[in-house]
Amino acid sequence: MSVTAAAGFLAAGVACGLKTTGKRDLAIVQNRGPLKNVASVFTSNRCKANPVLWSQQVMADGIADAIVLNSGGANCYTGARGFQTTHATAEAVAERLDISAGDVLVCSTGLIGEQLDLDKLKTGVWDAGLAILTGGATSEQAGLDAAHAIMTTDSVPKLSVRTVAATAAATASAATNVAYTIGGMAKGAGMLAPGLATMLVVITTDAMLSSEQLDVALRQATRVTFDRLDSDGCMSTNDTVTLMASGASGHEPGIEDFTLELTALCKDLALQLQADAEGSSHDIAITVTGAISEDEAVDVARTVARSNLFKAAMFGNDPNWGRVLAAVGTTQATFDPYNVDVAFNGVKLCIAGEPGESRTLVDLSPRAVDVVIDIKAGPASATIWTNDLTHDYVHENSAYAS
């Protein structure tokens, strides 16, 4: 169901020729309200694509009617003409759906440094608009079509839905037991890194929440989910995660409860991105415990996640804890470098800085790998999700210009 699961949302995904394969490459998600509240987080890369620059302006007032997304081109480093293309795309959506261009968010993904074909974009907007205006756009299939249209090297669409039951304290809008729904779609397979991945994510909810509440919840949720995904250390120019609320359920959840549900949905989508990372053969969770702060735990875990030697060893099913420590030692976190434990899949290979249990006890053939590094300096911990460095990663990223 994804973005069409929550009441008040319509979606469509069509093919307009931006992808040379002829597959779907343009999606629109419209919020029919009654609320049109929105919050977004964007890439922290200073080189931001034109659609990011545009969307930052659109969402500044906390209101958006629709979002249009295309694959087949990032529209980044395309100058003034590229910005005009983004603007014209929003205008086309506004005209088609009889809304204001200033309330239309735009997302693009694909190759940097090439102009998008505006005629194709307009054709796509026309066709997607037709689908939205003529019915069927609230269906599961409509949500799936939209998710397909934002895929690049993704092998599968990423969808997630959570229906939250009404509690005694809650005021459900319907006769059912469902108080409100959150649904989302995501794309991203390479360039997955800090401050979000190469990632476009649209999340919809029919809960009644202000744009300020959405912003607080979204920042809390992404901080511990998408921001903890670091597949290849490379940060995109186009990352956008947008959360839209229609209020159509009539239910006003507590902000803590909503944040918990949203976080669970974001984690589900983030792990789907990890599982589909380009060329990967392992999903690796690197957990640092015993840090003096969560920030330092994240720093140490991320540094290990970015060690090519560690990542190549994982591809080779080699529990090479020396490479873990060599990476840990490059950080400025507080710990004694000669009193660290390292465990692979529960086997403590390094205990207090010396060889511990035998490497032969570790089986790294399954896709999931857990690395736990105890730096014994404090109470904080954090997990970074990453992937291994494989022949297929090199192949996909050398043969495919993206």
User: 258 or 315, CB closer to its own copies?
Assistant: 315
Q: Please state the closest distance from residue 230 (CB atom) to its own copies, in A.
A: 11
Any contact of residue 318 with its own copies (CB under 8 A)?
Answer: yes
Residue 237 designated active-site: no
Give the interface segment with its own copies, choosing from 55-63, 146-154, 209-217, 314-322 (CB under 8 A): 314-322
Contact status, residue 188 vs residue 271, Cβ threshold 8 Å: no
Of 57, 167, 171, 308, the residue at the interface with its own copies (CB under 8 A) is 308
User: Are residues 118 and 85 in contact, defined by beta-carbon separation less than 8 angstroms?
Assistant: yes
DSSP bridge partners of 285: 370, 385
Q: What stretches of 109-173 adopt beta strand conformation (E)?
A: 158-165
Please report how close the Cβ of residue 329 comes to its own copies at its closest, in angstroms: 3
CA distance readout (Å), 138 to 44, 47, 65, 133, 209: 33, 36, 16, 11, 21
Annotated ligand binding at 198? The verdict is yes
Q: Is 334 in the site for its own copies (CB under 8 A)?
A: no
Does 204 interact with its own copies (rule: CB under 8 A)?
A: no
| Of the residues 21, 134, 155, 398, which one makes contact with its own copies according to CB under 8 A | 398
- For position 326 contacting its own copies by CB under 8 A, the verdict is yes
Q: What is the DSSP secondary structure assignment for residue 250, as one 8-state letter?
A: -
Nearest-angstrom CA–CA distance, 192 and 45: 13
Does 339 engage in binding with its own copies (CB under 8 A)? no
Catalytic residue among 198, 204, 240, 263: 198
Residue 321 binding its own copies, by CB under 8 A? yes
Task: Determine the length of the chain.
Answer: 402
Ligand-binding annotation for 108, yes or no, is: no
Of the candidates 163, 115, 186, 238, the one whose C-alpha atom is nearest the C-alpha of residue 7 is 163
Compare residues 171 and 391 and give the one whose CB is closer to its own copies. 391
Half-sphere exposure of 100 (CA within 13 A, CB side): 7
Whole-angstrom Cα Rg for the chain: 22
Contact 227, 383 (CB under 8 A): no
User: Binding site annotation covers 278?
Assistant: yes
402 is in an annotated binding site: yes
Going by the DSSP 8-state scheme, the letter that residue 198 receives in this structure is S
Residues that bind its own copies (CB under 8 A): 44-48, 74, 76-79, 111-115, 190-191, 232-237, 306-309, 312-313, 315-316, 318, 320-323, 325-331, 337-338, 349-350, 353-355, 389-391, 393-395, 397-399, 401-402
